[in-house]
A and B are shown apart, each in its own frame.
Chain A
Amino acid sequence: MSLTKTYDELSEYAFKRSKKAYSEPSVFDADCDIIEYMLSYCEISADEQNRFFINVGTEKLPRAVINERKTRFTDPDEDDVLRYGTEAHAFNGETDYSHTSAEWESVLSLGIYGLRERAAEYEKRETDPAKKHFYARIKGVYSAALAFMLRAADCADENNKPEMAKGLRALSRRAPETLFEAFQTVFVYYFLQHKFDGTYLRTLGRLDSLLYPFYAKEDPAFARALVADFFREAERLKAPANMPFAIGGSDERGDCIINDLSYLFIDEYAKADTVRVKMHFLYAGEKHDGLLKAALDAVRRGRNAIVFMSDKKIRQSLEKLGIDPSDAAYYHVVGCYECGGRGEIPCSCTTHVCIPKAVEYALTGGVDMLTGKQIGLPRVGEITTFDGFLREYERQLVHICRCGMRKTDLWERHNKDIHSAPFLSGTYLSAMEKGEDLYCGHSAKYPDSSLNAIGLGTAADSLAAIRKLVFEDGELTLSELTDILKNNWEGHEALRLRVKNKFPKYGINDDKTDALAKRTVALLAETVSRRPNAKGGVYRLGALSITLRWEYGDHCAASADGRRSGEPLSQNTSASFGADREGVTAHFLSAAKIDASDTPNGAIIDIDLHSSAVQGENGLRAMASSLIAFFKMGGFCVHYNVLDADVLRDARAHPEKYPNLQVRLCGWNVRFSTLTDRAKEEFISRAEAR
């Protein structure tokens, strides 16, 4: 007789239980019940290849529950400006129950068992009934997790996996002691949070420092095999937007963290056939130079899912935000590039703003060219100078940022009725101290929200073009240019190409144009950073677009930089593709002018290199030293594509010949063969430009 229930049966219970919470005070209680029910009854399967843990198919259910709860709230869409602005993709504001890191130090030092014991201790000591109840429920879900692990151990035995079964049984009664058990704990915890809690876990932590105590006791050859198996199994998690882990970083005094395991991770990562496992390399200084070269060598061999980040700049940006230096030191990267301090839930993707829309609204008096709706501010007075235009642009930009944050605030006020995170809360010291859930009770030490500004390069180039065309050369009036853009450059192809190919651009180290990008980020920081949110925390800024540059570009009219309506916007903090005419060093010099200590959510430069530009020992030296020079100038984050147009064209025509060819789409990697035709075309033209 089977005690398990099908997905539909689990779902039926979850929705029924969730709906009961609508008349009761607590979504948190409902979630704990649902989690315990799922853990008790979900079907378990053992992937033949898995070494560390079993598999379950539950992750869609908590997300479906969240989405169902969200439908009860309509107020963020009732305000016309917010609705029109969202439809036009000028901005958006939402909740973010993704982009988290566990407090991995607690998870690995205490284990699942120890986290339950810790909750029990809190419960025993507590006198306040509400808090006591919270601890009891945390203890409850972790108890259910221990029972689930024993059920998983039985499943492992049935599938002839004694090593897995033995580890799980040991971990059901104590903390991990061996490297195998430590890896197993990482996987078990990932499942608990990601697939039961429904709060997406977006980093497996700084694995070289976290796991070193376990590694030090292990036979090196055995450890190496474990690391290789770890990568294979992490790949099979099929995590959305890839599964990151980090290496490097620095301790509180700023000294580089580096050990044998750091090298082992790079070494095995370079060999692993993975697409979905990505690495954050936290570069903290000279002691990391050798490790950096090894990582860049992997990148130029096609293992390019490695993001290179400046540890120093990350810490600075977090401290500037108001995070304690000791918490800033032990930050985690909770997504593609976004960094959160220890104790912070950064909600790094709550708000998005399309910067080029502010340029558009400065031209039109706030009317969206594609939707015809009034979204920006009506123009006041006449614009006769470029300074006047710039001020108008900035007024519009501040306005759409405020709209985006207002919408986020409206959503985040409803958090307590939408989502809780019992497993994640159980790892957070601040949540345990306060006796409240991280989402329902906003109990993080830093319960923050974020605004990501999309299309910086497109906006800076557009402003530069307006300055030249209208105010310097007097070739067109503002209203003539506005009409040309409204008509998507029709009948003006020569002008469009001249602007695109000949005008100054952000990314060629032209001070005058770079100043426009720099000034934009400074204004965004002034508007966004440290602005209180609805949760008792503050807003943080990112100059990142990820792949939203396609979606937001689809909804953005022609821009003055020569971009046609519907074409993608510039990516992240990078120059528009093709605008970086002077190459990588000029691109770095332009980007370094932006104050990245204002962007804890990331200021990311995407670098395309031709394979011939990274050849040999000198090619590796050039890669490493240009990156280090960029970090010394104040750069935040870089990732690479090493492209060869001939190879990409051949791969488009004969995908079967290149089953493993990967490209870095944005914050994550994909196999080239799985890209849309449009994206393939863009990669080929980017490669041709090199």
Chain B
Amino acid sequence: MYGVISDVKRMEIHDGDGLRTTVFFKGCPLKCLWCHNPESISFEPQTARFKQKCIGCGTCRGENTEETAKNCPADALVFYGRRVDTESLVSELMQDAPFFRESGGGVTLSGGECLAQPDFAVSVARALFEKGISVDIDTCGFVPRESFERILPFTDVFLYDIKAVDPAVHAACTGRDNSLILDNLRFLSKAGAKIEIRYPLAKGFNDGECEKIGALLKDMPGVRKIKVLRCHSYAASRYEALGMPCPLPDSKTGRPDVERAVSALRSYGLPAVNGMDGD
């Protein structure tokens, strides 16, 4: 089984419990304005050109390919879209098994949207599960129900994004309707899954959704944490390098905004935390 990934990041502490390795799957069905991983949006392989690193050596002859990126001496040309098979990815991930064991961590499949490559995601999750490694699924929820049914048995925690409850707000921020996302969330909750909600907060875009999210999640079984994440514009240089127009809103979301959202959610009795503090 083969899949396409954009990156693997080790010793990650923000994507679930303990020390984790996060696999970024390439391709996502949503087009969020604030996307921090632009290299994971398209399902197609891409190269990014970081001009400030280029030494003008001419090794790439101006060509943007996997091969020229591999040979770029200065790391100015970067390839996103490694095609990898389950077995070799899993053995790469297993390197950190001693650290997973010691910390209660594991592997997080993220993206992009990992469940947009459902066969590959399930095959990786199953292989890890069989080796006793915890697997978390970081998902936007916009995938067929069946994909959740298939991944559920091998999943420890779902890191589940809720960006808005109001369909119009959701569509404005992500380009998609959210009824499938909300249905899938209810399904997971009923199925007894452990869920950590991620609420990416962009002031002036979805900060008005806070109360609605509180009302939605209140009394929903399985929700053990709600992490409010601050949208920022650190990824702007990557959009430029990828040659993509940068949709990042200049929302100036700050710590007080996140803290306000956290306390609003807590007023619903929800275990909300500030993602800026790392927990």
B73 in contact with A615 (CB, 8 Å)? no
Kindly report which residue of chain B lies nearest to residue A494, judged by CB atoms: B57
- The reply to whether B18 and A625 contact each other, CB–CB distance below 8 Å, is yes
A501-B73, A501-B75, A584-B11 known; A622+B18 contact, CB < 8 A: yes
B251 contacts A by Cβ under 8 Å: no
Across the interface, do A615 and B278 meet the contact criterion of CB distance under 8 Å?
Answer: yes
Interface centre among B14, B59, B95, B96 (most CB of A within 10 A): B96
Over the window 259-279 of chain B, the binary record of Cβ atoms lying under 8 Å from chain A Cβ atoms (1 yes, 0 no) is: 000000000000000000111
| B10 and A621 contact, CB distance less than 8 A | no
In the assembled complex, which residues on chain B have CB atoms less than 8 Å from the CB atom of A632?
98, 102
Give Cα distance in the complex from A366 to B96, angstroms.
Answer: 41
Task: Judge whether A237 is part of the interface by a CB distance below 8 angstroms.
Answer: no
B55 & A494 in contact (Cβ 8 Å cutoff) = yes
- The answer to whether the Cβ of A127 comes within 8 Å of any Cβ in the partner chain is no
**In the complex, which residues of chain B have a beta carbon less than 8 angstroms from the beta carbon of A501?**
73-75
Partner among B9, B18, B70 whose Cβ is within 8 Å of the Cβ of A621: B18
- Is there a chain A Cβ closer than 8 Å to B237's Cβ? no
Looking at chain A's contact residues, the main secondary structure is: helix
A residues within 8 A CB of B55? 493-494, 497
Tell me if B101 is interfacial: C-beta within 8 Å of chain A. yes
Whether A613 pairs with B102 at a CB distance below 8 angstroms is no
A497:B73 contact, CB within 8 angstroms = yes
- Please tell me if A502 contacts chain B, counting CB pairs below 8 Å: yes
Asked whether A618 and B13 contact (CB < 8 A) given A625-B99, A633-B98, the answer is yes
Within 8 A of A (CB), among B65-110: 70-71, 73-75, 95-96, 98-99, 101-105
| A494-B73, A501-B74, A502-B73 known; A625+B103 contact, CB < 8 A | yes
A644 to chain B, nearest CB (A): 13
Q: How far is the CA of A501 from the CA of B18 in the complex (A)?
A: 30
Q: How far is the CB of B82 from chain A (nearest CB, A)?
A: 15
Report whether B13 and A616 are in contact in the complex, using a CB–CB cutoff of 8 Å.
yes
Known: A616-B278, A621-B103. A497 touches B18 (CB 8 A): no
* Bound-complex Cα distance A615 to B274 (A): 11
User: Which residues of chain B have C-beta atoms less than 8 A from A616's C-beta?
Assistant: 13, 277-279
Most chain A Cβ neighbours within 10 Å, of B10, B75, B99, B105: B99
Interface residue A628 (Cβ < 8 Å from any Cβ of B): yes
Closest partner residue, chain A, to B16 (CB atom): A618
| A509 is an interface residue with CB less than 8 A from chain B | yes
In the bound complex, CA of A619 to CA of B57 (Å) = 41
Q: Is A679 an interface residue (CB 8 A)?
A: no
CB-CB under 8 A from A497, the residues of chain B are 55, 57, 73-74
In chain B, positions 1-47 with a C-beta closer than 8 Å to chain A are 9-11, 13-14, 17-19
Q: A498-B71, A622-B11 are in contact. Are A617 and B279 (CB under 8 A)?
A: yes
Q: Known: A494-B55, A616-B278. Is A585-B95 also a contact (CB below 8 A)?
A: yes
A370 at the interface (CB under 8 A from B): no
Residue in B closest to A592 when the chains form the complex, CB atoms: B98
Minimum Cβ distance to chain B for residue A301 (Å): 13
A498-510 interface code vs B (CB 8 A; 1 in, 0 out): 1001100000010
- With a cutoff of 8 Å between Cβ atoms, the chain B residues found around residue A615 in the complex are 13-14, 277-279
Are A618 and B99 neighbours in the complex by a CB distance under 8 Å? Answer: no
Once the chains are docked, how many angstroms separate the CA of A323 from the CA of B105? 39
Chain B residues near A493 (CB-CB < 8 A): 55, 57, 73
Known: A617-B279, A618-B13, A622-B13. A585 touches B73 (CB 8 A): no
User: In chain A, residues 468-509, which have Cβ atoms closer than 8 Å to a Cβ of chain B?
Assistant: 493-498, 501-502, 509
Contact: A629 with B99, CB < 8 Å? yes
What separation, in Å, do the CA atoms of A583 and B18 have in the docked complex? Answer: 16
CB-CB under 8 A from B71, the residues of chain A are 498, 502
Q: Chain A nearest CB: distance from B16 CB in Å?
A: 9
Query: In whole angstroms, what is the CA distance A628 to B73 when docked?
Result: 36
Question: B279 touches which one: A495, A584, A618, A633 (CB < 8 A)?
Answer: A618
Closest to A612 in B: B278
A498 touches B73 (CB 8 A): yes
Bound together, the chains give a CA A613 to CA B102 distance in angstroms of: 17
How far, in whole Å, are A502 and B10 apart by their CA atoms in the complex?
19
CA distance in complex: A583, B10 (Å): 7
Contact B59 A494 (CB under 8 A): yes
Chain B residue nearest to A509 (CB atoms) is B95
Tell yes or no: A68 within 8 A of B by CB: no
Q: CB-CB contacts of A596-638 with B at 8 A, as 1s and 0s?
A: 0000000000000000111111110110011011001100000
Question: A588 vs B17: C-alpha distance in the bound complex, in angstroms?
Answer: 21
Q: Are B75 and A629 closer than 8 Å at their CB atoms? A: no
Contact: A613 with B13, CB < 8 Å?
yes
A586 and B95 in contact, given A494-B57, A621-B18 (Cβ under 8 angstroms): yes
Task: Give bound CA distance, A305 to B55, whole Å.
Answer: 39
A582 near B: Cβ within 8 Å?
Answer: yes
* CA gap between A493 and B57 in the complex, in Å: 8
B13 engages A585 (CB within 8 Å)? no
B74 touches A618 (CB 8 A): no
Closest to B57 in A: A494
Q: How far is the CB of B13 from chain A (nearest CB, A)?
A: 5
- CB A584 to nearest CB in B, in angstroms, measures 5
Q: How far is the CA of A633 from the CA of B98 in the complex (A)?
A: 9
Residue of B nearest to A496 (CB): B73
Complex contacts, B14 vs chain A, CB 8 Å? 612, 615, 618
User: A582 to B95, alpha carbons, bound, how many Å?
Assistant: 11
Given contacts A584-B11, A618-B279, contact A626 B73 (CB under 8 A): no
- Give A494 to B74 CA distance when docked, in angstroms: 7
A367 at the interface (CB under 8 A from B): no
- Contact of A589 with B by CB under 8 A: yes
A497 to B74, CA, bound (A): 6
Taking a contact as CB atoms under 8 Å apart, the answer to whether A626 and B102 are in contact is yes
What is the minimal beta-carbon distance from B176 to any residue of chain A, in angstroms? 30
Max chain B CB contacts within 10 Å: which of A494, A618, A633?
A: A618
A509–B278 Cα gap in the complex (Å)?
27
Q: Kindly identify which residue among A509, A583, A584, A618 contacts B17, using a CB–CB cutoff of 8 Å.
A: A618
- Chain B interface residues toward A at CB < 8 A: 9-11, 13-14, 17-19, 55, 57, 59, 70-71, 73-75, 95-96, 98-99, 101-105, 277-279
The 3 closest A-B pairs by CB, nearest first: A615-B278, A616-B278, A625-B103
CB within 8 Å of B: which residues of A?
Answer: 493-498, 501-502, 509, 582-586, 588-589, 612-619, 621-622, 625-626, 628-629, 632-633
Listed A/B pairs (30) with beta-carbon separation below 8 Å = A493-B55, A493-B57, A494-B59, A494-B74, A495-B73, A497-B55, A497-B73, A497-B74, A501-B73, A501-B74, A502-B70, A583-B9, A584-B10, A585-B10, A585-B11, A585-B95, A589-B95, A613-B11, A614-B13, A615-B14, A616-B277, A617-B278, A618-B14, A618-B279, A619-B13, A621-B18, A622-B18, A626-B11, A626-B102, A629-B103
* Besides the known contacts A585-B96, A586-B95, A613-B13, 15 further A-B residue pairs in the complex with CB atoms under 8 A apart: A493-B57, A497-B55, A497-B74, A502-B70, A583-B10, A589-B95, A614-B13, A616-B13, A617-B278, A618-B17, A621-B19, A622-B105, A625-B102, A625-B105, A629-B102
